[in-house]
Amino acid sequence: MFQIVKSEKLADKIYLMDVKAPRVAHSCQPGEFVIVKMDEKGERIPLTICDYDREAGTVTIVIQTVGASTEKMVRLKAGDFFEDVVGPLGNPSDFVREDVEELKKKKYLFVAGGVGTAPVYPQVKWFHEHGLDADVIVGAKTKDLVILEKEMEAVAGNLYVTTDDGSYGRKGMVTEVIKDLVENQGKHYDVCVAIGPMIMMKFVCLLTKELNIPTIVSMNPIMVDGTGMCGACRLTVGGKVKFACVDGPEFDGHEVNFDEAMKRQQMYKTEEGRAMLKLMEGDTHHGGCGNCGGDE
Ligand code: NAD
Ligand code: FES
């Protein structure tokens, strides 16, 4: 059992929890995720790690309520327990394995959209802890939906907050800020990391392709069981079939077929859609194990 030591509402439908999970906290890296199970019969919910405290043995997760399971999850309070917290899963962000001296020669731009701010935070914090300055754009629909601003401010080189309605910070979507920084303010970026809703990542990638900035995206949103078994997170990257939970979750955004991934995500939600996908994808329909039966 894994005890919740802190539970806090960050914004409408967005909650933060610190969970005692010493083994995960000891070894997790930016980019990885955990699977949380509320009780024995509970759904497996993959969630990106927002922060970790190796000494306290806690990991921080941010939950956006999207259905019955997440609604039930956020009703838990400090002192309550999760049945299971499995992880760390997935692959760490590429920069974790890079030589820090080489990284110092590159300028990174992190683009966080809405709840995607949570997985961006540990990456920017990692940069800060390694003496690297990164620029960060945080976008949200309105002022009330901007999360982790103070935390991000403490670790970012420059932080640009933008809201779609202009109720806080700049006005406009994250893509408008990228354009402004590069085209009007003379900024140069070697790598962009964009994490947020699929539609945001798609449009950031279209823009950064034009601007010639290599871009990494996180395909967490299409994951369901997070173990390579269900096949939900199948996507095409550079013409090859990949599974976000085992091959990712981070990929070269300029190689990701977003339209296919978004269409597939919608189809996967219905029984009829899954039957159609199975027909279309044959033996490769399911994930890593290839013989689990998945949705049969
Ligand atoms: P949102 O819809 O409020 O969008 C956040 C920001 O993204 C906007 O303020 C805007 O700046 C930008 N954006 C949105 N559409 C855009 C477009 N067409 N062009 C350019 N920029 C655009 O975000 P939300 O409701 O907080 O996001 C929820 C989604 O984020 C969920 O679907 C969830 O799955 C996803 N998410 C993704 C990750 C990940 O790892 N990629 C992590 C957590 C959450
Ligand atoms: Fe099920 Fe990846 S989330 S195979």
Query: 256 C-alpha vs ligand 2 centroid, how far in Å?
Result: 17
Distance of alpha carbon 291 from alpha carbon 284, whole angstroms: 10
Helices (H), 91-211: 100-103, 117-129, 149-155, 174-179, 198-211
269 pLDDT higher than 80: no
Query: 221 C-alpha vs ligand 2 centroid, how far in Å?
Result: 11
Quick check: CB of 90 below 6 Å from ligand 1? no
Higher per-residue confidence, 125 vs 295: 125
Average pLDDT, stretch 261-269?
82
The band of 61, judged by pLDDT with boundaries at 50, 70 and 90, is: very high
218, 48 contact by CB (below 8 A): yes
Distance of alpha carbon 190 from alpha carbon 157, whole angstroms: 15
First to last CA, the chain: 30
92, 29 contact by CB (below 8 A): yes
234, 288 contact by CB (below 8 A): no
237, 218 contact by CB (below 8 A): no
5, 51 contact by CB (below 8 A): no
294 pLDDT higher than 70: no
Is residue 274 within a helix (H) or strand (E), and if so which, with residue range?
helix 271-281
Residues in the chain: 296
Q: Whose CA is nearest to atom 4 of ligand 2?
A: 228
**Binding site listing for FAD:** 62-64
Q: Percentages helix, strand, coil for the chain, rounded to the nearest 5?
A: 35, 30, 35
Type of residue numbered 94: D
Quick check: CB of 243 below 6 Å from ligand 2? yes
**Binding site listing:** 62-64, 230, 233, 245
Quick check: CB of 268 below 6 Å from ligand 2? no
What's this model's pTM, rounded to 2 decimal places?
A: 0.93
81 pLDDT higher than 90: yes
Quick check: CB of 113 below 6 Å from ligand 1? yes
Residue 88: cis peptide before it, omega within 30 degrees of 0: yes
Query: 197 C-alpha vs ligand 1 centroid, how far in Å?
Result: 3
Identify the pLDDT of residue 285.
67
Rg from Cα positions in the chain: 19
213, 190 contact by CB (below 8 A): yes
Quick check: CB of 119 below 6 Å from ligand 1? yes
Helix axes 258-268, 198-211, angle to 10 degrees: 170
Identify the pLDDT of residue 293.
47
